[in-house]
Amino acid sequence: MTTLIKSATIIDASSSHNLKKKDILIVNGKIAQIANSIKQESNYKVVQLENLHVSSGWFDTSVCFGEPGYEERETITNGLKVAAKSGFTAVAVNPNTHPIVDTKSDVEFLINKANNSATKLFPIGALTQGSNGIELAEMFDMQQSGAIAFGDYNKSVVNDNLLKVALLYAQNFNGLVLSFPKNKAIAGEGVANEGVNSTRLGLKGIPALAEEIQVARDLFLLEYTGGKLHIPTISTAKSVQLIKDAKKKGLQVTCSVSAHHLSLTDDELEGFDSNSKVTPPLRTKKDTKALIKGLKDGVIDIITSDHNPIDIENKKVEFSIAEDGTIGLESLFGAVNAHLDIETTVKALTVNPRTIFGLDNYSIAKDQEANLTLFDPTTEYTFTKEDILSFSKNSAFTGKQLKGKVYGVYSNKKLVLQ
C-alpha cells in the first residue's frame, strides 16, 4: 500500500523538516519522499486531516493488559488496537498477569500473541519470582526471549539486599532494573495522599515520605552497585529533587511520570470516585507543578499512561477497597498536552523512552522506516465514556476537559486511524 500524508506539520528534532508543514509519501512501509507538495496518484491512500501533526511513533513504557488470566479486563488484541488508535506504535507491558510474567515462555507467549499488529509489544519481565519479592526471576533468560526490563509492577522491593543483587546481576547483560517507589511500612493501609483532603474525608493517608524514602534508598544502592535503574511513576516534588541530585552525581538513573499525576490532584477525592484511586496516589498542586517542571528541565525522562484496566466488580465498590488503577492510553495526549509544549511531550514519548529501554529510534526522513503518530494538538473536548476504547472503563479523566486529539498511527506497514 502506498500512503500519502498531506499537509502535516512534522515534530521531530532529529529531522531537517522539524516544525515544517510537508507532504509525506510512504511506499512499502518506508518514507519515499518528503516535499512541500506531492502529486496524488489514483492508487494512493490519502490521509488529509485537520491541523495534522506528525511525530515519530510514541512508546508507552507502562501498560497493563489482562491477558493471560484477566481477559475480562483487557485482551492483548484489543489492548494493542486501543494503543494504536491512541497514538502508540510500541508499548511495554507490565508482568502483572496470571500467571505473573517471570519465565522465558511467558515472555514468548506475549510476543507471539502480538505478532503482526501495528503496535509492537515489548514485555517487562518480573524482577522476582511471582513478583513476591523473595527470589530473583530468571532475568537473563527472559531478556534473551525479548524482555526489555525487569520490575514487579506497583510492588516495591522490600529486601534491600535483593535489589542490590539485582542491580549487580543485571550489569552482566546490560539489563534495566525497575524499582517501584513505595515504602510499604510507611504507606501502611493508606488509600490516598496524606494531606488536608484525606484528613477531611476520613481516608487513611499515604505520606509523600513513603515514596521519597524508597527513592533515596534505591539511589544509595545504585551509587554502591552501579548499573541502570529506572524509577517508574514518581509523584512528589521531593522525588524530583532526589533524582535531579543523583543525575548530577552521574548515576545511571531514569524515571517516568504518569499523565494523571501530571494533570490531576488529590482534590479528585471529593466524591470518592474510585477511578481516581491510583498507585502512587494523586498528590497536591505543588507536586504536579514540580513534576511538570521536572519534565521541562529534563530530570523526568518519560511520560506514561500507566494504563491499568480494572473490571467493574473491583472498581465500582467502596473507595477504600477498590483496586488501584486507571486506564490512560486514550487520554494521555489530551491530558498532558495542556500542560507542556509539544516538543517536550513528544521527546518524553519517543526518543527518551526508546533510548532508556534499549529500542531503536526513528526519524522522519527519506528512506527511513515509517513509524509515525498522527495527531492534532489544538482540539479541545470533554473526555467521555464514548472516547474509551478499552474493555474496562475505569478512567480518571471521564468528564475532564482535554486538549489535543490523536488521529492514529502508521506503523509496521499498517495505517490505523480513529
∠ Cα 364 377 48 (to 5°) = 60
Helices (H) and strands (E) in the chain, counts: 14, 18
> How many of the other CB atoms lie within 10 Å of CB of 389?
17
Neighbours of 220 (CB within 10 A): 13
Contact 126, 91 (CB under 8 A): no
Q: Residue 310 in contact with residue 96, Cβ under 8 Å?
A: no
Give which of 360, 244, 221 is closest to 300, Cα–Cα. 244
- Going by C-alpha positions, the residue among 229, 246, 290, 248 that lies closest to residue 265 is 290
Continuous H helices in 23-126: 76-85, 104-113
Give the active site residue among 306, 360, 376, 387.
306
Whether 306 is catalytic: yes
CB–CB of 337/405 below 8 Å? no
Give residue 228's region: left, alpha or beta (phi > 0; psi -120 to 50). Answer: beta
19 Ramachandran zone, left/alpha/beta (phi>0; psi -120 to 50): left
Catalytic annotation, residues: 306
